[in-house]
Amino acid sequence: MGLRLGIDLDGVVADFNRGWTAAYNRSFGAELHEGLVQTWDSPLSLTHFPDMDAFWLWARDQGETGVFRDLEPYPGALQALEKLHADGHRLVIVSAKPDWAVPGTLEWLAEHRVPTREIHFTESKYEVSCDVYLDDAPGQVAELVRMRAQEAIVCRYVRPWNDPVEGAHDVHDWSQFQHMVRQASEVLVG
């Protein structure tokens, strides 16, 4: 029996920063790129939006179902998910999304054939019980460690916009995450 793997989408599987910067460039004639995103609040420091509410209002109106629908997957992410699934692990998508982004995200998951039977859209990711979590959001990683580290492994997907969190395991790529899951599987499943 495999492990339940709580997988975040944006910043982990889907390249949200590449997507929103490209959309912003098309909308406003700017020359942003994902490499400029160095902090969690980069949409405010890199754009003209006065607050995140204004950014999300704009993001909602990109395409038919918002900016999330047309994101590119990170290289190797989909292949790694397929391999983890083939190894018998249950992929549990756990993503914090505004309500308007749910239809586009479901379409994205279907188009990219993400092998999951369980999807949760929630800000309270710790409420979804998993054996291993993978997330990049600074607040989410800290909350998962605080609420779940006693019974689960919490992995921080290292990105420029997040810092180490005590109790979280750092992973830098999908290969490293797959290795972490193999090790956890040996310990937890036997």
Domains annotated on the chain, with CATH: 4-14+74-188 (3.40.50.1000), 17-70 (no CATH)
71 vs 127, 139, 168, CA distance in Å?
A: 26, 22, 27
* Dihedral angle computed from the Cα positions of residues 9, 183, 82 and 176, in that order, rounded to the nearest 10 degrees: 60
Query: Which has the closest alpha carbon to 80: 7, 162, 188?
Result: 7
Report pTM.
Answer: 0.95
Residue-averaged pLDDT of the chain: 95
- Measured CA to CA, the distance from residue 52 to residue 64 in angstroms comes to 21
Spell out a b/e string for 16-34, using b for 16 or more CB atoms within 10 Å of the CB, else e. Answer: bbbbbbbbbeeeeeeebeb
Place of tokens 């754009």: 47
User: Which residues lie below 8 Å from residue 80, measured CB to CB, with a gap of 6+?
Assistant: 174, 175, 177, 178
Q: What confidence category does residue 35 fall into, taking pLDDT thresholds of 50, 70 and 90?
A: very high
**Res. 143: pLDDT tops 70:** yes
Residue 75: other Cβ atoms inside 10 A: 10
Would you call 156 helix, strand, or coil by DSSP? strand
Joined together, the tokens standing for residue 159 give 């990105």
User: Which residues lie below 8 Å from residue 169, measured CB to CB, with a gap of 6+?
Assistant: 153, 154, 155, 156, 180
Q: What confidence category does residue 66 fall into, taking pLDDT thresholds of 50, 70 and 90?
A: confident
Are the C-beta atoms of residues 25 and 31 closer than 8 Å to each other?
Answer: yes
* Per-residue pLDDT tens over the stretch 100-139: 999 999 999 999 999 999 999 999 999 999 999 999 999 9
Specify the higher pLDDT residue, 3 or 65. Answer: 3
